Amino acid sequence: MEIFNISKFDEIKSDESKRVAALGFFDGIHKAHQNIIGEAVKAAGEKFKSIVITLDKSPKEYFGKTSEESLTPINKKNELLKELGVDEVYYLEFNEHLQNLSAEEFIELILKKLNVEKVFCGFDYRFGNRGLGTPELIKEKGIEANIQEEQLIDGKKISTTSLKEFVKSGDFIKYKQYAGRYYSIDGLVVKGRQLGRTINFPTANLQLSEKYLLPETNGVFITKIKVRDKIYKSITNIGYNPTVSNEQNKKFIETHILDFDDDIYGEKIEIYFYEFLRNEQKFESFDHLKEQLKKDKKACEDKKI
């Protein structure tokens, strides 16, 4: 899969290849997104190139001048798009050039320059200055537009907004239902205070690789962890560790990996969230903490995941 980062429209190179495009921001790449992208890949077949045209950041992030937490930061998004069989991804930098680009110019300078024959998008997809561009306009300009209607589960729209609600509330069972996979975050294992080892409960301390969205409720989660291309059961605590720390402005992400005791400092891991187990709490002593951790570990061992 080839990746193109576009900050100015003359950076888009024209060639002889004809393309089928999936259009959207696609944070979360949930089931509705997967349908759109999958249909584009299927329509492209062997004859055309399948491509995704998306943004490097959300408009909210651009106009708010702030870094927004994401379900699928760019590296994760690339991984998922590759799994879906996409040939090319075009990340349009959301800047003044793109902000002022009219809907008609978007079609001429991007879609037509890339020889896009067909597009696939959601019913609410909008593009161009002030969001005036619609799939109907794409059709009027001679490009076939396939529009996916609203997708529902139990009467609720499958959307990035829904996925974010599930992550914030720690409802990872619902997340999987809407996304078709478990929520995950990744990063490097860094040295922590190593207090877990003193109670025979070592943890891998995660330093996030990107600005992932995290649950708002601090607590313990049943998880799995991918390390050295193998998957292990684990329990993950997200919070301030009130029993052993007075730092109230720094959240820790610490994972105890079951049946694993290797040194993995500096290595990349990925944590998959399965279920919320309990709220974070302050214990009277290390002994009380150790007893609770044993219960957490047993709950994870007994869980069929």
41 within domain boundaries: yes
Q: In which band, very low, low, confident or very high, does the pLDDT at 243 lie, cut at 50, 70 and 90?
A: low
Would you state the pLDDT for residue 99? 87
Do 254 and 121 sit in the same domain of this protein?
no
> Residue 185 and residue 21: Cα distance in Å, rounded?
28
Say what the pTM is.
0.90
298 shares its domain with 189: yes
Strands 19-23 and 116-122: parallel
Higher-pLDDT residue of 293 and 72 is 72
Residue 37 maps to a domain: yes
Q: Is residue 157 part of a domain?
A: no
Residues 95 and 188 in one domain: no
Angle at 173 between CA 182 and CA 150, to 5 degrees: 85
Same domain (yes/no): 49, 104: yes
Mean pLDDT of 120-139: 94
Which of 152, 172, 193 is at the close of a domain? 152
Decide if 258 is inside a domain: yes
Residue 266, phi then psi, degrees to nearest 5: 85, 0
Asked if pLDDT for residue 148 goes beyond 80, the answer is yes
Average of per-residue pLDDT across 115-128: 96
pLDDT tens digits, one per residue of 181-205: 999 999 999 987 666 665 668 899 9
Query: What is the pLDDT confidence band of residue 248, given thresholds at 50, 70 and 90?
Result: low
Q: What is the arrangement of strands in the sheet containing 144-148, beginning at the earlier edge strand?
A: 2-6, 88-92, 49-55, 19-23, 116-122, 144-148
Q: Both 118 and 209 in a single domain?
A: no
The per-residue pLDDT for range 256-277, each reduced to its tens digit, is 999 998 999 999 999 999 999 9
Whole-number pLDDT of residue 196? 60
Residues 212 and 124 in one domain: no
Range of the domain at 273: 182-302
On average, the pLDDT of the chain sits at: 91
Residue range 56-71: mean pLDDT, rounded? 80
* pLDDT over threshold 80, residue 123: yes
Looking at the structure, tell me whether residues 119 and 190 fall in a common domain.
no
Residue with tokens 């709220």: 279
The enclosing domain of 93 has a CATH number of 3.40.50.620
Task: Indicate whether 170 belongs to any domain.
Answer: no
Q: Are residues 194 and 266 in the same domain?
A: yes
Q: How many domains does the chain have?
A: 2
Q: Which residues, including other chains, have CB under 8 Å from residue 178's CB and lie 6 or more apart? A: 30, 31, 153, 158, 162, 163, 166
What is the model's pLDDT at position 289?
A: 83
Claim to verify: residue 29 and residue 113 sit in the same structural domain: yes
Q: Residue 280 above 70 pLDDT?
A: yes
Is residue 231 in a domain?
Answer: yes
Q: Is residue 173 included in any domain, yes or no?
A: no
What is the full DSSP assignment across 127-194? Answer: BSGGG-B-HHHHHHTT-EEEEEPP-EETTEE--HHHHHHHHHHT-HHHHHHHHSS-EEEEEEEE----
Strands 116-122 and 156-157: unpaired
Phi, psi of 264 (to 5 degrees): -125, 25
- pLDDT given for residue 247 in this prediction: 59
263 found inside a domain = yes
